[in-house]
Amino acid sequence: MKKLAIILFAIAFGGRSFAQQPAVVVSDKSGWHKIGETTVNFEKDKDEVAVLLADKFAKIKFKVTDAAIDLTSCEIFYESGDNQSIMLNAPLKAMGESKVFDINGGERSIKKIVFVYKTEPNHKDKKAHVEIWGLKTNADKNDHKKSDMNKK
């Protein structure tokens, strides 16, 4: 219910009260899903992406297009109130992708992701477009299916 109220608020006010438009993930299918995206600029060194609705992921990775970026670190805030810090130190070229990072404790609900970066200078002053991708394994659903099959 809380997430629905946030979504309605974001729609009503056009996301103006958020630093970035919140990422709304609606699919619960297993596999990789785009959690959020942002275009980073040369003035900022930190961005935040709020995650709403189908927000359970087991792993995350970053993809970069348009311009190179140096991802320094990332902090994942969970719905449970705790957080996880990841030191990335990953320079990524345009059309590049980071390595895959595990979520502590397996598949968990993510509230928001904050990442720190340095935009690499380029001859066209292009801004880097960063996408955050999350892997859904649906481990908890698969465990229920297995236990249901064992009962038969």
| Token pair belonging to 19 | 């630093």
pLDDT in tens, 88-104: 888 898 899 999 999 99
Report the pLDDT averaged over residues 109-124. 86
pLDDT for 103 equals: 95
- Among the listed ranges 17-26, 68-77, 110-119, 131-140, which one has the minimum average pLDDT value? 17-26
Strands 31-39 and 129-136: antiparallel
Q: How many domains does the chain have?
A: 1
Q: At 23, which CATH number?
A: 2.60.120
> What is the extent of the structural domain holding 128?
2-151
